[in-house]
Amino acid sequence: MLYLPLQDIEASKLNIDDPEHLRIHSLETFGTHDGPGIRMVIFVQGCQFRCLYCQNPDTLDVKAGELIAIDELVQRAVRQKAYFGKFGGVTVSGGEPLLQRSKLSTLFQRLHKEGINTCLDTNGRLNDVHVHELLIHTDLVMLDVKHINEEIHRKLTGLTNKNTLALADYCESIGKRLWLRYVLVPGWTDQEQYIEEWGQRFTNFKTVERVEIIPFHQLGLHKWELLKMDYPLKDTPTPTEESKQKTLAIFNKYFDNVILK
């Protein structure tokens, strides 16, 4: 039973209605944790994953948030361009950006015209032609593979991991730069055999530049309370130092560049 309905119809309208506007939750002007360098981070509104540990439950509802003109976002990015340096740029995070994949194609193309680097932070919910079109205009994909086991993935997020894995394979097939992300949640994603399996699944990818381990934290708790929603992981502790180091050691067997956040 999902704690919030999937909103399938509304979610598909999100990609079509108001093609010149993006539905966003918020903007950050000095992001240093969502992709390389200094980045303007656009948190879009709407997500169909129902992760038990969601840290931004206020970005889930596809009808909430506000509409902002794509041109305004481009203008804002241009005002910040001087700070981006060689590596920075714009990251779209969320929420789930792929729900607005066609609009993001427009945004990213305009950003590229201004010489601004683009980065997509996604859980890989979708993998259709519109997503493939968007990837053409995307410099870096940050893909959150929440669990390697289909059954646990469903329990953890409410949905399959098949699309996510397919998107990863697609990125590998077209040579799209990837950063993989993994949220370490005690009791949910810290099973050694699955972390090993996760590592094996991607170890031969030529496109993976970096893997980030993001330890679960309780900073999202107040948002669940604010939304008057029942937070399933409200009693879950943060991972121990030992667990973090163990996870890091496993990932290090499979990847050259692992960052423990």
Partner 1 sequence: MKTDVTAIPFEQGEWNSTLNVYSFVVKNITPYTGNSSFLSGPSAKTINVWNATKEALAIERANNGCLAVDTETISNITAFRPGYIKKEDEVIVGLQTDVLLKRSLKPFGGIKLVESAARERGLEVSDRIKDIFKYAKNHNEGVFNAYDPEIRAYRSKHVLTGLPDNYARGRIIGDFRRLALYGADALIAFKKADFKQVSGEMTEHKVRLREEINSQIAALKDIVLMAAEYGLNISNAATTAKEAIQWVYFGYLAAVKEQDGAAMSLGNVSSFLDIYLERDLKSGLITEEEAQELVDQFVMKLRLVRHLRPASYDEIFGGDPTWVTESLGGQLNDGRTKVTKTSFRFLQTLYNLGSSPEPNLTILWSEELPEGFKRFCAQVSIDTSSIQYENDDLMRPNRGSDDYGIACCVSYQEIGKAIQHFGARANLPKALLISLNAGREEHEGTVIVKGIPELPEGPLDYDLVLDVFKRTLSDLARVYAKAMYIIHYMHDKYYYERAQMSLIDSDPRVDIAYGAAGISIIADSLAAIKYAKVTPIRNEKGLTVDFKIEGEYPQFGNDDDRPDTIAQEITHFFINELRKHQTYKNSTPTLSLLTITSNVMYGTNTGATPDGRKSGEPFAPGANPMHGRDSSGAIASLNSVAKLRYTDAQDGISNTFSMIPKSLGDTKEEQVTNLVNTIEGYFKHMAHHLNVNVLNRETLMDAYNHPEEYPQLTIRVSGYAVNFVRLSRAHQLEVIARTFHEKM
HEC-encoded secondary structure of 156-168: HHCCCCHHHHHHH
131: phi then psi, degrees, rounded to nearest 5: -65, -40
Q: Least separation, in Å, of the C-beta of 205 and partner 1?
A: 22
Considering beta carbons, is residue 22 or 213 the nearer one to partner 1?
Answer: 213
Considering beta carbons, is residue 5 or 85 the nearer one to partner 1?
Answer: 85
- Residue with the two structure tokens 């209605």: 17
Q: Least separation, in Å, of the C-beta of 84 and partner 1?
A: 7
Q: Least separation, in Å, of the C-beta of 71 and partner 1?
A: 16
Do strands 21-31 and 39-44 pair parallel, antiparallel, or not at all (unpaired)? antiparallel
β-partners of residue 27 are 42
Considering beta carbons, is residue 29 or 193 the nearer one to partner 1?
Answer: 29
Q: Least separation, in Å, of the C-beta of 258 and partner 1?
A: 12
Considering beta carbons, is residue 38 or 221 the nearer one to partner 1?
Answer: 38
Q: Least separation, in Å, of the C-beta of 117 and partner 1?
A: 12
Considering beta carbons, is residue 193 or 257 the nearer one to partner 1?
Answer: 257
Q: At what angle do helices 101-113 and 129-136 cross, to 10 degrees?
A: 10
Structure tokens at 137: 């205009």
Count Cα atoms within 13 angstroms, Cβ side, for 198. 32
Considering beta carbons, is residue 14 or 36 the nearer one to partner 1?
Answer: 36
Do strands 208-215 and 178-184 pair parallel, antiparallel, or not at all (unpaired)? parallel
Angle at 95 between CA 91 and CA 98, to 5 degrees: 70
Residues that bind partner 1 (CB under 8 A): 27-33, 37-38, 40, 79-80, 82-85, 87-88, 259, 261
Q: Least separation, in Å, of the C-beta of 259 and partner 1?
A: 6
